[in-house]
Structure 1
Amino acid sequence: MSVARAAGAVLRPTQRAGISLVQHRAASSHAHEDHHDDHHHEEYHDSNVYEPEVFNTPFWRRVVVAGVGIVAFYKFAPEPTEDTLIAKYIKSTMTQPEFWKDTAFKHLVLSAQGSDETLLVADAKPPVVHRYRFPQRFEQFSPHSNPVGIKLTVDDVVVKRD
């Protein structure tokens, strides 16, 4: 018993008279000792009925038949180099390897084209806009003091007002 519980039991008055302060364990190993000894003197009888353990059940018959079938298959099966009816049928119904090679190449080309288009869209940026601090300077240039042979025109420049 902890010290706090013992102090609480001593300091708190009990509500019912005659209750002891020490509690007994309800699951004591000594409480049922006489009853426990009675089971050792009786014999235990199993009432279940078990089937005899024999090897002529359907499971074991199937195992033996399957084993004989596998051995016979490996003994009488044709060698891999021989052309059998089944091999000829499979070969006639299979698609030619050239078809699969061409299909795989077309798929490769289309996949590369799709990845190029995806990169183009992913790397797309809006056009670069040059913003000048004083755009009115375009309208104030001097046609004098230019080098010979260079004609400077800013007629096609449009100044946007934000």
Structure 2
Amino acid sequence: MSLARAAGTVLRPRLISTPLLRTRAASSHAHEEHHDDHHGEAHDSTVYPKEDFSSPFWGRLALFGLGAVGFYKFAPSPDEDNIVTRVIAAYSTPREVWEKLSLKHLVQSVEVSDDSLLVADAQRAPVHRYRYPQRFEQTSPHLHPVGLAVDISNVVVKNV
């Protein structure tokens, strides 16, 4: 046996054979000190402030509510003439302009719908198929009275 193998068997930890029945290391009854310990979980040590309605948030909310009620009670009515309505009227677009734009949009929408209906209802031109197209080539151009015969000299027969 080589020296490296011999050193490996000596230095390698030996496996201990496991017994068929293992015994339980825990005791059969619970201890009170184990209930408080959550098996290594970190505890929150933050100190939180007292929760009540004396915080600044609730004071600001109450002031905002009183301000909204006061504004609603003392604000001018919509039919009164005041500076706010005059400023809004000065910077807003007149009613006639919006009516003109709406009418133009309506006319353009009707044109688009008519065009889309035209395209949707479109059909190919009817194709007349004859059973014996060779008859066009068999007719004689002679001995026809004037005006009773159709000129078919430009007709081209397609083989489909």
TM-score greater than 0.5 by the shorter chain: yes
Equivalent in the alignment of 2:60: 62
Identity %: 42
Partner Cα separation in structure 1 for residue 54 and residue 115 of structure 2: 70
Shift of 1:72: 1.8
Shift of 1:84: 1.4
Shift of 1:117: 1.7
Secondary structure of 1:135's counterpart equals: coil
Structure-2 change in CA distance of 1:91 and 1:18 (3 Å): closer
Equivalent in the alignment of 1:155: 151
Structure-2 change in CA distance of 1:47 and 1:105 (3 Å): closer
Equivalent in the alignment of 1:105: 103
Structure-2 change in CA distance of 1:63 and 1:161 (3 Å): closer
Partner Cα separation in structure 1 for residue 124 and residue 35 of structure 2: 97
Q: Which amino acid aligns with 2:57?
A: F
Q: Which amino acid aligns with 1:66?
A: F
Shift of 1:48: 5.0
Partner Cα separation in structure 1 for residue 111 and residue 152 of structure 2: 39
Equivalent in the alignment of 2:134: 136
**Cα deviation digits, residues 67-99 of structure 1 (max 9, x gap):** 221222122211222111111111122112221
Shift of 1:41: 9.6
Secondary structure of 1:81's counterpart equals: coil
Equivalent in the alignment of 1:10: none
Shift of 1:152: 2.2
Q: Which amino acid aligns with 1:76?
A: F
Q: TM-score, normalised by structure 1?
A: 0.62
**Cα deviation digits, residues 81-137 of structure 1 (max 9, x gap):** 211111111112211222111211111111111122222223333322211111233
Unmatched runs of 5 consecutive residues or more in structure 1: 1-15
Unmatched runs of 5 consecutive residues or more in structure 2: 1-16, 37-43
Equivalent in the alignment of 1:72: 70
Structure-2 change in CA distance of 1:89 and 1:151 (3 Å): same
- The answer to whether the aligner puts 1:37 opposite 2:31 as a matched pair is yes
Residue-pair matches, total: 133
Q: Which amino acid aligns with 2:139?
A: Q
Partner Cα separation in structure 2 for residue 17 and residue 59 of structure 1: 65
